[in-house]
Structure 1
Amino acid sequence: MNTRTSMPARYITWFVCMFAVLIAPASSAWDKHFLLTSVAVNALEDELPALDRVIRPTTLASFVARNNEALKTALRLFHDWKQRAYPYPQWLLSDANAALLRQPGTMSQKQFLEILGVGPAAFSKVVIPTGFDAVQNAALANPNMARSFGDWLVLFSDEPDWGMDQSLFGAGDPRYGEIPYGSLKGTGSQAPFHMYFPCENWISLKIKPSLKQGMTHLRFVAFANLAQVALCAGDQYWGARFLACTIHYLQDMTAPYHASAVPFLNPLVIAKAILAKDKERFSRDNTQLLSNRHFLFEAVAARMQVLGAAAPEKLYSALSQKVAALCAAQDKEDNPPTTTLMKQFKASNKRAFDCAHKIDKLVSKAFPKKLVGDPSYDPFADGAFDVSPYFSDASVQSWIDGQRNKKTPFLNEIGGSLSNAVEATLAALLAVLR
Structure 2
Amino acid sequence: MRYLAFLLALLPNFAQAWGNHSPLCYLAFERMPEVAGAAPVAAEPLVDFLRDQEAGIASLLDAQEAWARAHLPGHARRPERLRFVPAPGRADAERRAAFLRALRVSPQARLALYMQPDAREAAPARPAVDASVVMAVRPAAGNSQRFVALAPGELVAPLAVLASACDEPDYGHDINLFDDNPGNPGYAFGRQPFGNPAIAIGSQAPFHMGFFHQGAIFDTLAPSFARTFTELRIQQYGGLAALAWRTGHAYWGWRFAGLALHHVEDLTQPYHASAAPGATLAYMMWVNLKAQLGAPADRQGLVVLQGNRHFVLEQFQTRWIQDAARQRRDGPLEQALRNGARDARYPPWSDAYVREVVAAEAFAAGPATDAAVVVGAPAKFVTDPTFDFAAHEAELGPELARDMQGRRDALQAHLAEMLGNFGAHSRNALRGLLNQTPQKRP
TM-score class, shorter: 0.7 to 0.9
The unaligned stretches of length 5 or more in structure 2 are 127-146, 436-442
SS in 1 for 2:192: coil
- Which residue of the partner structure matches residue 235 of structure 1? 249
CA deviation string 1:119-157 (max 9, x = no partner): 11223446876x963457433542224321111111111
The 3-state SS of whatever aligns with 1:196 is: coil
Shift of the alpha carbon at 1:372?
A: 2.0
Amino acid at match of 2:311: F
Bigger Rg, which one: 1
- The 1:135–1:314 alpha-carbon spacing in structure 2 relative to 1, beyond 3 Å, is farther
> Which deviates more, 283-292 or 29-38?
283-292
RMSD: 3.2
Residue 5 of structure 1 is matched in structure 2 by none
Separation of aligned partners in 1, 2:276 and 2:26: 30
> Is 1:362 aligned to 2:369, yes or no?
no
1:418 corresponds to 2:404: no
Match of 2:31 among 24, 43, 55: 43
**What is the Cα deviation at residue 390 of structure 1?**
4.6
| CA deviation profile, 1:224-280 (whole Å, cap 9, x unmatched) | 101000000110111111011011111101011001111123223422331245455
Map of 2:206 onto structure 1: 192
Contact 1:253 / 1:259 at 8 angstroms: preserved in 2?
Answer: yes
How far has the Cα of 1:199 moved from its partner? 1.4
Query: 2:192 matched to 1:183?
Result: no
Q: CA deviation at 1:432?
A: 3.2
Corresponding residue of 1:430: 431
1:117 aligns with 2:104: yes
Separation of aligned partners in 2, 1:406 and 1:80: 51
Q: Report the TM-score, using the length of structure 1 for normalisation.
A: 0.81
Q: Secondary structure at the match of 2:149?
A: coil
Structure 2: distance between partners of 1:291 and 1:198: 20
Distance 1:283 1:215, change over 3 A: same
Matches of 1:174 and 1:389, distance apart in 2: 43
CA drift at 1:413: 1.4
Conserved 8 A contact 1:327-1:430:
no
Alignment check: 8 A CA contact 1:285 1:375 kept: yes
Provide the secondary structure at the position in 2 that maps to 1:295. helix
1:327-406 to 2 correspondences below 5 Å: 339-340=349-350, 342-343=352-353, 346-387=356-397, 389-392=399-402, 395=405
Partner of 1:381, secondary structure, is: helix
Is 1:74 paired with 2:60? yes
Q: CA deviation at 1:164?
A: 0.8
Separation in 2, partners of 1:314, 1:232: 37
* SS of 1:133 mapped into structure 2: coil
Find the aligned partners of 2:346 and 2:73 in 1 and give their Cα distance. 34
Is residue 19–residue 208 contact of structure 1 (8 Å, CA) maintained in 2? no
Aligned to 1:246: 260
1:82 offset after TM fit, Å?
0.5
1:46-195 matches, within 5 Å, as 46-48=33-35, 51=38, 53-88=39-74, 90=76, 92-98=77-83, 100=85, 108-125=95-112, 133-134=119-120, 137-139=123-125, 141-145=147-151, 146=154, 147-169=156-178, 170-171=180-181, 172=184, 173-184=186-197, 185-195=199-209
Q: CA deviation at 1:303?
A: 2.3
Kindly tell me: are residues 349 and 94 of structure 1, through their superposed partners in 2, closer, same or farther at Cα, counting changes over 3 Å?
same
Q: Give the deviation of 1:350 after TM superposition.
A: 1.5
Contact 2:231 2:354 in 1 (8 A): no
- Counterpart of 2:273? 259
Deviation at 1:414, TM superposition (A): 1.2
Equivalent of 2:315 in 281, 289, 299? 299
- For residues 341 and 205 of structure 2, what CA distance do their matches in structure 1 show? 35
Q: Name the CA distance, whole Å, in 1 between partners of 2:265 and 2:296.
A: 34
- Is the 1:224–1:246 Cα contact (8 Å) retained in structure 2? yes
1:315 to 333, 338, 341: 333
Partner in structure 2 of residue 400 of structure 1 = none
The alpha-carbon distance between structure 1 residues 315 and 249, as it changes in their structure 2 partners (threshold 3 A), is same
Of 143-152 and 208-217, the range deviating more from structure 2? 143-152
Q: Residues 174 and 48 (structure 1 numbering): CA distance in 2 closer, same or farther, change over 3 Å?
A: closer
The answer to whether the Cα contact below 8 Å between 2:29 and 2:36 also exists between their aligned partners in 1 is no
Separation (CA, whole Å) in 2 of partners of 1:327 and 1:198:
24
Task: Report the alpha carbon displacement of residue 21 of structure 1 after superposing the two structures with TM.
Answer: 1.9
Distance 1:319 1:285 in 2: 34
Contact 2:14 2:307 in 1 (8 A): yes
State how far apart, in whole Å, the 1-side matches of 2:102 and 2:295 are.
41
Instruction: Judge conservation of contact 1:23–1:262 (CA < 8 Å) in 2.
Output: no
Residue aligning to 2:132: none
Count of aligned pairs: 400
C-alpha contact (below 8 Å) 2:378/2:403 kept by paired residues: no
Cα contact 2:114–2:150 (8 A) shared by 1: no
SS in 2 for 1:142: strand
More helix by share: 1
Change (3 A) 1:247 1:312: farther
> Paired residue for 1:4?
none
Q: What percentage of aligned pairs have identical amino acids?
A: 25
Q: Distance in 1 between matches of 2:215 and 2:6?
A: 17
Q: How far apart in 2 are the matches of 1:174 and 1:317?
A: 42
Structure 1 residue 56 displacement after superposition: 2.9
